[in-house]
């Protein structure tokens, strides 16, 4: 689709509808392959589809995270094993699992597969929410839906309003996903008022809000603003170099993060310093009962 065919607002909505659709298709694949508990293992999917997929893992330096190519009659998926040199828990680093899930997106999403068969070009990818074009984002959303399907992760996310760091890490380990991948998905699947915010150089870079916030008009992340939350500032200032992984917790107000004047919602927050990307990720959670109280006052 080229050129401007829809108004700005509608083309933005269409873009997000396409991404959400890709995530749902990822969830459907997890369900079709009968994953009834985490983790969803992308190797098991490739093995089950061995008539159509062959795969090869090697240290490809920094050429790509993953790659898929139609070599007729099968598709060849290559993945970069260099991440296994980084500390990790399971057999493979979560970056490798995500990269394979991303390439499976190109395999399972019909338009992506058509393109691969027609062009016979390899499709190289740097995955995990860093790529811009719609196809790459669709494959990322597919991967996120596949590895963290709502039917498996939703009950974990929504078992209580607030999550401790301990429980968050337990969920992460059982799904074998990256911290940032889980943080994004958490907010997508939460029934509670929460947001995932990324901070770079002391400023709010981007973020996502849960449906419970969006439907109340709280969706404009204060992008570009300096961090104003006291607890978050303390966390940042404790080691501004971000050269090692750190985590911490604090409390504050939703208005530090989101343009939202209607309520003074108090928040519980978890901070994660991610050295690889030089960012601090924050999970901000408000109490849904505060919303109800505020509504009664109106
Ligand atoms: Zn790709």
Q: What angle do CA 218, 230, 184 make, to 5 degrees?
A: 45
Top-confidence residue, 122 or 143: 143
Ligand 1 centroid, distance to 80 Cα (angstroms): 13
Do residues 267 and 284 make contact, with C-beta atoms less than 8 angstroms apart? yes
Distance from the CA of 6 to the center of ligand 1, in angstroms? 26
In angstroms, what is the span from residue 205 Cα to ligand 1's centroid? Answer: 24
Ligand 1 centroid to residue 69 C-alpha, Å: 11
pLDDT of residue 297: 47
Quick one: pLDDT at residue 183?
A: 97
Which CATH class for the 163-297 domain? alpha beta
Calculate mean pLDDT across residues 166-195.
96
- Could you tell me the distance, in angstroms and rounded to a whole number, from the CA of residue 127 to the centre of ligand 1? 7
CA of 26 to the centre of ligand 1 (A): 14
Q: How confident is the model at residue 298 (pLDDT cuts 50, 70, 90)?
A: very low
Is 130 a residue whose pLDDT tops 50? Answer: no
> Phi and psi dihedrals of 51, rounded to 5?
-65, -25
pLDDT of residue 86: 83
Tokens 């490809």 correspond to what residue?
60
State the pLDDT at residue 105: 96
> Ligand 1 center to residue 181 CA distance, Å?
16
pLDDT at 1: 46
Q: Helix, strand or coil for residue 123?
A: strand
From ligand 1's centre to the CA of 160, what distance in Å? 35
CA of 248 to the centre of ligand 1 (A): 33
Q: What's the gap in Å between 242 CA and the centre of ligand 1? A: 29
Distance between Cα 103 and ligand 1 center (Å)? 6
pLDDT tens digits along 90-105: 889 999 999 999 999 9
Rounded CA-CA distance 265/287 in Å is 8
As annotated, the residues of the chain forming the CATH 3.30.450 domain(s) are 163-297
Cα 55 to ligand 1 centre (Å): 15
Query: Position of tokens 């404790």?
Result: 238
pLDDT at 4: 55
CA of 105 to the centre of ligand 1 (A): 8
State in Å: Cα 138 to ligand 1 middle.
9
CA max distance for the chain: 65
**CA dist 87 → 70, 81, 91 (Å):** 32, 13, 11
Our CA dihedral for 36, 38, 43, 44, rounded to 10 degrees, sits at: -20
């Amino acid at each position: 689709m080229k050129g401007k065919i829809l108004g700005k607002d509608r083309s933005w909505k269409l873009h997000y509808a396409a991404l959400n659709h890709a995530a749902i298709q990822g969830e459907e694949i997890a369900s079709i392959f009968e994953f009834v508990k985490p983790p969803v293992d992308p190797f098991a999917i490739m093995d089950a589809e061995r008539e159509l997929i062959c795969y090869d893992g090697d240290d490809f330096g920094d050429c790509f995270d993953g790659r898929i190519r139609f070599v007729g009659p099968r598709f060849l998926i290559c993945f970069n094993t260099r991440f296994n040199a980084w500390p990790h828990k399971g057999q493979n680093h979560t970056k490798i699992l995500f990269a394979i899930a991303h390439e499976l997106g190109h395999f399972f999403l019909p338009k992506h597969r058509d393109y691969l068969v027609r062009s016979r070009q390899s499709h190289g990818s740097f995955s995990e929410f860093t790529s811009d074009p719609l196809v790459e984002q669709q494959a990322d959303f597919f991967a996120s839906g596949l590895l963290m399907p709502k039917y498996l992760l939703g009950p974990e996310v929504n078992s209580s309003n607030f999550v401790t760091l301990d429980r968050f890490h337990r969920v992460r380990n059982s799904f074998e996903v990256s911290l940032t991948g889980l943080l994004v998905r958490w907010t997508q699947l939460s029934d509670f008022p929460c947001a995932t915010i990324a901070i770079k150089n002391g400023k709010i870079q981007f973020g996502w809000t849960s449906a419970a916030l969006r439907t109340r008009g709280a969706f404009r992340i204060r992008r570009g603003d300096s961090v104003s939350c006291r607890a978050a500032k303390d966390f940042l200032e404790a080691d501004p170099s971000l050269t090692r992984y750190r985590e911490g917790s604090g409390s504050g107000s939703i208005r530090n993060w989101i343009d939202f004047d209607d309520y003074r919602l108090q928040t519980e927050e978890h901070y994660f310093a991610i050295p690889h990307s030089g960012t601090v990720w924050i999970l901000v959670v408000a109490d849904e009962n505060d919303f109800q109280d505020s509504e009664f006052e109106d």
